[in-house]
Structure formats: structure tokens, C-alpha cells
């Protein structure tokens, strides 16, 4: 099997793996904000759900779970990409123009990975793919 054929075989599977890992990592940000797990350095309690930080945590928790499962991936990924863009400019960019210094490199990466999922979808190992095959 040549390299191009191998790549075309593995590309959809790797899309699913990227989605699963991204969803799991994003979900962890939500559990940290809302449930205190894993515990943050320096402590701090859970934010009010109706606050900006509470809304962000809820999007991260629910959105991360949906991305992990590959359910409603395109609209959820679009929403989360926007959340990460807003989060970067509100929380990170004012600290420094350099993402490595302002701690916003993960927000930028999540933003563009989610934007990619908006276009590419969830991949074959997803609930979206199972729902499509049943229709």
C-alpha cells in the first residue's frame, strides 16, 4: 500500500482521535471550573453559574462532552471556537501580546481545532456518524 492510500485510510480515523482527545481535554477545563476537579493550584471555589466564568465552565463541560462523543459536533464546535476566541481576547491578550507569555496558547489551539471540526465534522468514530448511518 502506498503512502497516499495509507494516509487516506487513516485520515478519518485520526480526525476521530483528534476530536476525542480535544473533547476530553476541554471537558477537563469545565470540570475544573465547575466541580473543582482536578483541583486548581491556589484553590478557589466554583463560580456562580450565571457569571461569565460559570457560563464558560458550563460550555466547557457540556460542549467538551458532546465533542468527546461526537454528537452535534459541527454546531457545538462552532460555538466553542467562538468561546475560545472571546476567552483569549478577554482573559489572555491583555496580559501580553505573546501567547506563550499570556497563557493563551491553549485557547488559540482549541479555537482553531474546533473551527476545523466545524468544517470537517466528527469523523467515523462518533455518534454523528452512527446517526447518519441509521437515516
How far apart are the C-alpha atoms of 129 and 32, rounded to whole Å? 30
pLDDT (mean) for 95-104 = 97
- The alpha carbon of residue 124 and the mean position of all alpha carbons in its chain are separated, in whole angstroms, by 18
What is the model's pTM? 0.92
Asked if residue 125 has pLDDT above 80, the reply is: yes
Q: Which of 50-54, 118-122, 126-130 has the lowest mean pLDDT?
A: 50-54
57 CB neighbour count, 10 Å cutoff: 21
Q: Is the pLDDT of residue 43 over 80?
A: no
**What does the domain layout of the chain look like in residue ranges?**
3-134
What mean pLDDT value characterizes the chain? 94
pLDDT given at position 40: 76
Structure confidence at residue 23 (pLDDT): 98
Residue 42: predicted pLDDT: 67
Q: What would the DSSP string read from start to end of 50-91?
A: TSHHHHHHHHHHHHHHHHHHTSSHHHHHHHHHHHHHHHIIII
CA distance 55 to 30: 10
- Dihedral, 47, 95, 92, 53 alpha carbons, nearest 10: 10
- Which among 38, 39, 35 is positioned nearest to 62, based on CA atoms? 35
Per-residue pLDDT reduced to its tens digit, 45-96: 778 888 999 999 999 999 999 999 999 999 999 999 999 999 999 999 999 9
Cell numbers at 7, concatenated: 494516509
Amino acid at each position: 500500500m502506498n503512502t497516499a492510500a495509507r494516509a487516506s485510510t487513516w485520515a478519518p480515523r485520526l480526525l476521530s482521535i483528534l476530536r476525542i482527545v480535544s473533547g476530553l481535554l476541554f471537558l477537563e477545563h469545565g470540570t475544573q471550573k465547575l466541580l473543582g476537579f482536578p483541583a486548581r493550584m491556589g484553590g478557589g471555589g466554583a463560580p456562580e453559574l450565571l457569571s461569565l466564568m460559570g457560563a464558560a465552565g458550563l460550555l466547557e463541560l457540556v460542549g467538551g462532552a458532546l465533542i468527546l462523543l461526537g454528537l452535534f459536533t459541527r454546531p457545538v464546535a462552532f460555538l466553542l471556537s467562538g468561546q475560545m476566541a472571546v476567552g483569549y481576547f478577554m482573559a489572555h491578550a491583555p496580559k501580553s501580546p505573546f501567547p506563550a507569555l499570556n497563557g493563551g496558547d491553549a485557547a488559540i489551539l482549541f479555537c482553531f481545532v474546533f473551527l476545523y471540526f466545524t468544517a470537517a465534522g466528527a469523523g467515523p468514530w462518533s455518534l454523528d456518524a452512527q446517526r447518519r448511518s441509521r437515516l
